[in-house]
Structure 1
């Protein structure tokens, strides 16, 4: 068991936990000066992500390959890292029309931890293994452990357990030489440096994690044929805004008049991709759906 002194020693070695003497009197600055300082700190994050693009791309290609075989993308983390994973997963169904079980976010302590801290949950590797077992993890799945420090037991435990089961594993952290990256097949370490507020990794580290998770989910979905060019042709029109967006996407893809678009969408049951293929290929909805099935959902290939 890790003792308090052991934990203190570990934290002292982490870049994300480092103290910055030059900011020791930040509370004496004007609000505008604090905002300028914070904005300057945030501006360094994209460059840190850019330095890790080859590792990110390799992880995405491996993820897309497994998902094309029917695998799932599973995020696992605690605290802010876990919440970011849940957020990214929850945005995939409306954006890419994925089944809710296709991209899953696990947070240490369960759903209630999204809004209330669950003490001790992040310290349990066994809890992570149990959460993954609850999903019936398979070798076609991908598990992304997320931890700013790279030492969170829940994230490391998730990756270790997934790897034992033959799943693809990715470790996303913000410290070099992290235990999480070492445990994963694909280690992504985005080193953003010490935070504005000592140890507050919801700041630069959280921003970096959000950027990388955006890449993992978005580019994977592009590789799976969920887009046509830069159009979200698998968007789920679950509200008025998305219904309007659906019509706009079909218009941008086809240049068809409004009435033709409305008719195609109605015959396609609201499926944007089907409606586009109907218009561009001059086919009916059943034929369009059959072509899309043959092309494994890739609209460009179906055309």
Structure 2
């Protein structure tokens, strides 16, 4: 039994397809199938139930999946620790972030970080809050920062809360909902809602539309624009809308869940060494959130 066999087993289990697993691992399908068969032979048990082109875990496969996943995480941690001890850090880092915090703040942080750590190239991409954990889990980015909607027990992801972020149900100040002393569920359901949508296929009840009529965006900024220009309401982060509230362009809806709090997190692959630039960035974001 070796790590390549374990990786093949976990990837096939995750994708439900030998072909897709081979594509993700960038290897030959026949070689991948042979690795699975070799693992099954060594363990003397069938790990998958095969039906046409689809494969599902057998009872034995289900029983060992979590341990196999933990082996891969431990292997990654060992490699990252050795890289850290030898002083080797990525010369290029990919960062995903949502737009719950103002763009100008991110631009200032990006420029300062680039000057502080000139040996490293930082690539910062915008993503939906609900996709951040998945982007890290699938190694499309190295780190991610944003509102944590997807908190699950996943040994492949490390969640580091940097602070609380207040989420507000708001509408335009002249919207009918803003005139009500108390808004009930039925009134919200009958009003157009701007909601957050994301590509990750996992169901998330926190991101399900509350209203019967809604329009979805992958960006808080697009939601904000719709709320300001259309007859809609939505749930937005306070740092993004504070100046609109002060100018009385937006009003907080007087509903039971008009004000809630979520964790603002740094998402990291389990076992990955924290680059000094990411430690610096996490501290700056934590200080910023403390002011709210």
Q: TM-score, normalised by structure 1?
A: 0.27
**Higher helix fraction: Structure 1 or Structure 2?**
1
Q: TM-score, normalised by structure 2?
A: 0.27
